[in-house]
Amino acid sequence: MALRKATGSVDLVDARSGDPRVQELQQRGYDLNEGMAVIYGGTVYYGSDALALISALSDGGGIAKRVLCRVLSNPRRARFLYPALKTGRRIVLRLLGRPKIPA
């Protein structure tokens, strides 16, 4: 919600949906099993850069959310923390029985 409030329209796409934008990102060499992608202002941000951008744009909400956004909006800190967040995501997806995103 904070991201929509800050940027206006936000279109979240499930990478498993078969959306043509997912296929386009994959054709451009982005592995969505290894990192998230954000298209903003015509530029693709991938991995920790996408995390830092989302955090910088969605600075709002409760105290915990504001602190997290401040921490992750710094590209250097986002690069440092991204591997741990990615590992956590993999563990959760495995526990939920979700398959990898098809290439």
3-class DSSP state of 89: helix
Does residue 103 sit within a domain? no
The angle that helices 63-72 and 75-96 make with each other, rounded to 10 degrees, is 110
**What does the pLDDT average to over 93-99?**
94
Output the 3-class SS for 35-84: CCEEEECCEEEECHHHHHHHHHHCCCCCHHHHHHHHHHCCHHHHHHHHHH
Query: Is the pLDDT score of 71 beyond 80?
Result: yes
81: domain range?
Answer: 2-96
Query: What total of structural domains would you count in the chain?
Result: 1
What confidence score (pLDDT) does residue 98 get?
92
Over the stretch 24-60, which tens digit does the pLDDT of each residue have? 999 999 999 999 999 988 899 999 999 999 888 886 6
Does residue 101 sit within a domain? no
